[in-house]
Amino acid sequence: MPHRMVQAIRHVGFEDLGTFAAPLQEAGFSIDYVDAADGDLGSLDPLRADILVVLGGPIGVYDHVAYPVIAQELDFVRARLEGDRPTLGICLGAQLMAAALGARVYPGPCKEIGWSALQLTEAGDQGPLAALRGAPVLHWHGDTFDLPQGCDLLASTDICRHQAFSRGPNVLALQFHAEAVAKKFEHWLIGHACELEATKISSIHLRANAGQHARGLESRAQAMIGEWLCGLA
């Protein structure tokens, strides 16, 4: 079998591929993490990887002055999408994809942090996200985006209308976190402790909800990513 590679752009260590890693490896892909903070994207070919995954992180698309790596990522993702190469974005990754497709990214009405189910659109219910139907997923974001032109809205919540979009079979953007791993959830709580304190969101409450929902999400998330892989053009 020819060597196939997933390139994952990572912003903080604990926001990795999580439960998506196993089905990707089982499908024959090796995984190559690229840490955005290293600033190496300019030397890489955005079209080379068989699949690009842009992971989450605590900075915003409009923070490009404070964090110049954002501009580098936007160029990388834009070139990738222009080539219609298989691309998956999660949270910040989804926001970067939306911006690269010409949509506006901006602060949402409030922080959406916690566990709740998605409201799937008809398009979402007929695609890979159907595996998540009715299951609470992890939300951890403050920003949102307009739906890019030519894309299909797949899911919403009461707080955030644009939770996921696709453009054909190869481009999938998820504002939420389906990849979170139950046994690693404490990393999220410690890693985002300052944000939780600032927003007065209880780590005790989040931990308890993770205990109820995270393990059930893992199998559904793996089914979702498997469906997406099967449909790639």
> How many other C-beta atoms are found inside a 10 Å radius of the C-beta of residue 22?
14
Render each residue's pLDDT in the chain as its tens digit; 233 residues: 457 999 999 999 999 999 999 999 999 999 999 999 998 898 999 999 999 999 999 999 999 999 999 999 999 999 999 999 999 999 999 999 999 999 999 999 999 999 999 999 999 999 999 999 999 999 999 999 999 999 999 999 999 999 999 999 999 999 999 999 999 999 999 999 999 999 999 999 999 999 999 999 999 999 999 999 999 98
Q: What is the residue-averaged pLDDT of the chain? A: 96
Other CB atoms within 10 Å distance of the CB of residue 189: 15
State residue 3's pLDDT score: 79
- Which domains does the chain possess? 4-231 (3.40.50.880)
Tokens of 232: 């790639």
pTM of the model: 0.96
Determine the straight-line distance between the first and last CA of the chain, rounded to whole angstroms: 18
* Residue 105: C-alpha distances to residues 61, 175, 179, 218 (Å): 7, 12, 22, 29
pLDDT tens-digit readout, 68-79: 999 999 999 999
Per-residue pLDDT tens over the stretch 128-146? 999 999 999 999 999 999 9
